[in-house]
Amino acid sequence: MPGIHEQVERSWHQGPAVIRRMKRLVHGLLISLLICQSTASQGEDRLVSEYRIKAAFLYNFSSFVSWPERASQHNDEFQICVVGNDPFGEALNTLSGKSVSGMPLKIRRLTAGAITDTCQLVYISESETKRFVRLLGKVRARPVLTVSDIDGFAMHGGIIRFKLVDNKVRFEINVDAAERAGLKISSKLLSLAIIVSEEKVNAR
């Protein structure tokens, strides 16, 4: 039986309807992967396991989020940027060089308080808790997927916030913030998320 990649390649010669079905199949498989890998392993250090899973989530988010064309017009790579202390360690390094939307993935680690215009996905570390609202203000309405573990992150304008529920990695999504950034999030990803509303707060 041919593999998924061979089936997708063959479908290009069989019309748009087949392509759409194959995309749904691939998305379904990715959703299953997200669910299966979301539980932290009991056989390894809990924190290491948690951030290994979260690193995989960061990469898989790119399959369920669409960036506007302008976001990649001047980029030849897809950048995941970590602002502040990096909790992922080697887990993120293993993603470097993978393909996202036909572009090689690059991991960048930025100093505290810094966000550059070339980042398509920004993870804001918990070390930035006291200034994350100001950091979000720097990318407000820009095509940047913002992600963090910080409590209240999504309600304060961030797009995705990780949280642990019964030892499983889950996430909140602020759909208004995503829309403001010009990002389209797949309904399949939304179906796994906790949808939150935004609070109006003063910059910290």
Distance CA 53, CA 70 (A): 30
Distance CA 176, CA 198 (A): 8
Long-range contacts at 129-134 (CB < 8 A, ≥ 24 apart):
130/204, 131/204, 132/156, 132/158, 132/204, 133/157, 133/201, 133/202, 133/203, 133/204, 134/203, 134/204
Q: pLDDT tens across 25-84, in order?
A: 444 444 545 544 555 555 457 777 889 999 999 999 988 999 998 766 667 899 999 999
- Residue 117 has φ and ψ, to the nearest 5°, of -70, -15
pTM for the predicted model, two decimal places = 0.78
Q: How far is CA 19 from the centre of its chain?
A: 24
Say if residues 91 and 143 touch (Cβ distance below 8 Å). Answer: no
Distance CA 57, CA 19 (A): 25
Q: pLDDT tens across 158-174, in order?
A: 999 999 888 888 999 99
pLDDT of residue 116: 78
DSSP assignment of 139-193 equals: HTTSS-EEEE--TTTGGGT-SEEEEEETTEEEEEE-HHHHHHTT-EE-HHHHHHS
3-state secondary structure of 83: strand
Taken in order of first residue, the domains within the chain and their CATH numbers are 37-195 (3.40.50)
Side-chain-facing half-sphere of 173: CA atoms under 13 Å: 21
Q: Name which of 62, 21, 201 is nearest 144 in CA terms.
A: 62
Least confident of 28-42, 127-141, 181-195: 28-42
Q: pLDDT tens across 102-122, in order?
A: 899 999 999 887 887 789 999
Distance CA 140, CA 135 (A): 9
pLDDT of residue 155: 94
